[in-house]
Structure 1
Amino acid sequence: MTAQHLYYLFQCFFIYAFLGWCTEVAFAAFKERRFVNRGFLNGPICPVYGFGVVAVIHFLTPLRSNLLLLYLGSAILVTAIEWLTGFILEKVFHNKWWDYSNMPLNLNGYVCLLFSLIWGVFCVFIVDVFHPLIDTLLSHIPFLVGIILVCILVIAGLADLYVTASGILKLNKRLEKMQAIADELHQISDKLGESIYKRTITAMEKQEEFKDTVSEKQEEFKSAISEKQEAISDTLADVSDEVKERIALLRRSYLENVKATSHMQKRIMKAFPKMQSRNYKESFEDLRNKLKEMSLKK
């Protein structure tokens, strides 16, 4: 591959990554009646579109005269890229970004037959009809100007990737803290429940002991039950004194973590509505719900 051809592929990558971003935004606007930046990055590009179309242009343009082979090759190649992208993102960030598990003939939820077939149609259109227009456009850009633009876009894209990746890793750290807080609250709740349960069972056993006694034992029975009720009340009072402050502190800390979610992290969660955290699923869903509630209150 020559330097000239590599430069050409970079140009194509950014053009189709931008057009892919426009497609995603338009689809989201039609579906949700509002603007949503549906890209993985903060900037107006969707790299998976850029990589997919560039791969088709580079490897499959020789098949342009055979539309059937071009269609099949495009569907297979782009599907492989989409699957690999989803797999890598999940392994690196421990999040599943999109999920086609509810679609028939899907593979690991990353890809499905329907969208593979649609990809094939779009790629045939791009190679046979649309890309020749892009070639004409690129031929009018002076070489030096094009090199400068590509360099600027590469630097900006890498910086955006760093900021995005850093933000996602920080989000995972926040989810880890929230999960630890939630686990401790559950432990406190379990201990409270166990203490009350034991006291209640003891009272019920005492009731069984006395239920067949003669009437002269009724006062003793009432006294025993009263003692157990008082013991339960004392337990709740004791727990309240000992644990109340800790529970309040944990809840404040949990809410602070929710409020500390950055604009970029919120954008990612909106951009990928089916995104799932593999390690902190409950905390992630709770964070998403609480952010929605906070947004509605504004």
Structure 2
Amino acid sequence: ACMLEYVTSWGMEKLFHARWWDYSHRRFNIQGRICLLGAIVFGLLGVLITDVIQPEVNRITQMIPLPVVHWMCVIFMALIVADTIITVLGIIDLADNLAKFSETVQAYAEKAGDSLQWGKDIFRDKFRDKVQDRVQDWSDSSQEILANMQATAASILNKQQRRMINAFPRLRFTDSIKYSKIIETLHEMLRRK
């Protein structure tokens, strides 16, 4: 399982120029792609699945006629392939859409006579005296800015891209600090919904 996680991390980084997860903050990691804690958890769950769950699944599947099992395998494989294709197609132009998002938000900021610096600190900087964990405590203008940024993100980033950004809180681009900062901003913005 750890070898699969390592190879997947490496492959996704090469394909999308982004680091989807990072265990660098954990002890005993290998290039931040895998860590000892993950290996232990995978190992324990592997034993649980092999010794406890698989015998039950085997007992149940023995009751299903073999042709039905074959069709189920074909259907599930088709679903996995379709899900993989939809995911890859959905995130393949993520960098381009982040650039569009950045340009659009910067244009709004320039119209307001401001310049926007990206990163999660944007909320502390922009709303310095109003930093609260709950959006309803912000001023109307701050809520309006946040709502405009959220609407802009929703119109530019597709559903799959928003889902992946939300699902991978440590997502970072390997070839663009700016895009990594934009991702940080989007994380913080989604957190404040």
TM-score (norm 2): 0.66
| Greater helix share, structure number | 1
**Distance (whole Å) between structure 2 residues aligned to residue 146 and residue 98 of structure 1:** 35
**Distance (whole Å) between structure 2 residues aligned to residue 114 and residue 132 of structure 1:** 27
**Distance (whole Å) between structure 2 residues aligned to residue 140 and residue 172 of structure 1:** 49
The answer for unaligned runs of 5 or more in structure 2 is 108-150
Q: Would you say 1:281 and 2:177 are equivalent positions?
A: yes
Q: Would you say 1:109 and 2:32 are equivalent positions?
A: yes
Whether the aligned pair in 1 keeps the contact of 2:9 and 2:33 (CA below 8 Å) is yes
Matches within 5 A, 1:25-64: none
What's the offset of the Cα at 1:285? Answer: 3.0
What's the offset of the Cα at 1:284? Answer: 3.8
**Distance (whole Å) between structure 1 residues aligned to residue 186 and residue 44 of structure 2:** 40
Of 243, 259, 262 in structure 1, the residue corresponding to residue 158 of structure 2 is: 262
What's the offset of the Cα at 1:176? Answer: 4.5
What's the offset of the Cα at 1:296? Answer: 4.2
2:67 corresponds to: 144
Whether the aligned pair in 1 keeps the contact of 2:16 and 2:92 (CA below 8 Å) is yes
**Distance (whole Å) between structure 2 residues aligned to residue 147 and residue 104 of structure 1:** 43
Matches within 5 A, 1:195-234: none
Deviation per residue, 1:28-81 (Å, 9 max, x gap): xxxxxxxxxxxxxxxxxxxxxxxxxxxxxxxxxxxxxxxxxxxxxxxxxx2212
C-alpha distance 295-122 of structure 1, shift in aligned 2 (>3 A): closer
AA aligned to 2:86 is V
- Matched residues, number: 151
Larger Rg: 1
AA aligned to 2:172 is Q
Whether the aligned pair in 1 keeps the contact of 2:95 and 2:179 (CA below 8 Å) is no
SS at match of 1:145: helix
Whether the aligned pair in 2 keeps the contact of 1:178 and 1:283 (CA below 8 Å) is no
C-alpha distance 160-118 of structure 1, shift in aligned 2 (>3 A): closer
What's the offset of the Cα at 1:134? Answer: 1.4
1:84 corresponds to: 7
Whether the aligned pair in 2 keeps the contact of 1:103 and 1:112 (CA below 8 Å) is yes
What's the offset of the Cα at 1:171? Answer: 1.1
TM-score (norm 1): 0.44
The alignment yields a C-alpha RMSD, in angstroms, of: 2.9
**Distance (whole Å) between structure 2 residues aligned to residue 290 and residue 259 of structure 1:** 13
AA aligned to 1:259 is S
**Distance (whole Å) between structure 2 residues aligned to residue 290 and residue 261 of structure 1:** 11
C-alpha distance 121-174 of structure 1, shift in aligned 2 (>3 A): same
What's the offset of the Cα at 1:283? Answer: 2.5
AA aligned to 2:189 is E
- Percent identity over the alignment? 27
C-alpha distance 295-124 of structure 1, shift in aligned 2 (>3 A): closer
What's the offset of the Cα at 1:293? Answer: 3.2
Of 43, 46, 51 in structure 2, the residue corresponding to residue 128 of structure 1 is: 51
The answer for unaligned runs of 5 or more in structure 1 is 1-77, 186-254
